[in-house]
Amino acid sequence: MVKQNPLQIAAQSQDSVAELLARTPEEQQHLGYFHTLREICQQPSTWTLTSELMVCSTPALIHGLEGISSLALTGSGSSEYAGDCVRMALQKELGINVLAVAGGALLTHGTQALPIGRPALIVSLARSGDSPESVGALALMLKTEPELRHLVLTCNRKGSLANAFREDPRVVTITLDERTNDRSLVMTSSFTNLVLAARILGLLQDPSRYQSICTALASGARVLLQTQVGALAQVSKAPFRRVLFLGSGARFAAAREAALKMLEMTAGRVSTACETYLGLRHGPMSAVHDDTLLVCFLSSESRLRAYEADVLQELAQKQLGLFRLIAGDRVPRELIAPRDVVIPYEIPFEHAGDAGDDSLPVMDVIVGQILALFRCLAEGLRPDAPSASGVIQRVVQSFPLHLSNG
């Protein structure tokens, strides 16, 4: 029996996917969605490959973490947000100070941007590894901070970050499967795979649990792709001109990435913002107008969800926004207003504790990716390269690196 790929399976029950696949590959490339569509849909299968690779790498990872007092996850743009998705989980599990730091902050502020405590591990996350910050920040840290250890997680075995420091014993490099090196402008499968690759750092003493989490998430993502693409495609056609993404903790990091995806893939035609639920009351709620879509990533943790429910009820009472898209695990009926769209997560976690917010950012991000893909198409743009004028590119262009005070 021929095994169907995730794209074919999604097309069987999702008219919106079937319509895109009905065109020839050449037409899909001409219309500019060939790569992005496949890269979004390949995520469940690539997550399994990433988890297997990371488990095989545990000896080197355990050695790198031994005796450290702090950890920093660094990257630029989406790669920074990937680190932010796992920061809180790693801090809880490792019992040390963990920060997510922009690569640009390391260039401009050096060690001031790093957490206090040595020895420390710096985890550099990158899709291509060819952006100026990627190599420049690591080179600066190697030069100025001898007590730092470095772990590079990248999707591109040919990239500068993967090769420039290969001979340095302070740097361990792990390259993910080549399929995660997205060819489209925006990061999709590269993002979620970098998140899951970094996630193992808090579970090195229990790799079987790590793999079971990744397997369960992959199962949940397959269900999402097979059942919810149509609903998200329909939402993308609504008359909104701005989107506000809401989340708490690690889910707020996912909201940051989802907001960036919509902004990039619509070339700024749709304005985006992200905020925490409680932060919304402190000014940003004033920007929720009739043309605003609210995308709400709902926490699975009861105490957090209680706070979030209060905010959702306040938004409903004030009749703010065009309508709401609520995504999460077991969304309570009492929170759902008549115009709301609910995207449920169905994830067969082996342990109840694994269903918490530490595990769900990758699911939230897929929701944001699909929503942005179909809005991009609705705007008449090309998802593989939505910035027709070249304002932004797949890899940030080279710029001068000022690595000294002279």
34 located within any domain: no
Look at residue 32 and tell me whether its pLDDT is greater than 70: yes
Same domain? For 265 and 339 the reply is: yes
Task: Tally helices (H) and strands (E) across the chain.
Answer: 16, 10
In this structure, are residues 257 and 191 in contact, taking their beta carbons and an 8 Å threshold?
Answer: yes
pLDDT on residue 255: 98
Q: Nearest 5°: phi and psi at 242?
A: -145, 155
E strands, 63-198, are 70-75, 97-102, 120-126, 148-154, 171-175
Same domain? For 103 and 158 the reply is: yes
Q: Which contiguous run of DSSP H or E holds residue 369?
A: helix 361-378
Q: Which contiguous run of DSSP H or E holds residue 297?
A: strand 292-297
In this structure, are residues 257 and 365 in contact, taking their beta carbons and an 8 Å threshold?
Answer: yes
3 located within any domain: no
> How many independent structural domains does the chain possess?
2
E strands, 33-161, are 70-75, 97-102, 120-126, 148-154
% of the chain residues with pLDDT over 90: 80
5 located within any domain: no
Digit-coded pLDDT (tens) for 224-239:
999 999 999 999 999 9
Same domain? For 195 and 242 the reply is: no
Q: End-to-end alpha-carbon separation of the chain, Å?
A: 66
Q: Nearest 5°: phi and psi at 211?
A: -65, -35
pLDDT on residue 262: 97
Strand partners, 325: 295, 341
For residue 22, the SS3 value is coil
For residue 296, the SS3 value is strand
Range of the domain at 298: 228-378
327 located within any domain: yes
Separation between Cα atoms, residue 9 and residue 150, nearest integer Å: 40
Look at residue 401 and tell me whether its pLDDT is greater than 90: no
pLDDT on residue 14: 77
Look at residue 389 and tell me whether its pLDDT is greater than 80: no
78 located within any domain: yes
E strands, 155-291, are 171-175, 242-246, 271-275
Nearest to 100 by CA among 65, 63, 73, 70: 73
CATH of the domain at 69: 3.40.50.10490
Same domain? For 159 and 245 the reply is: no
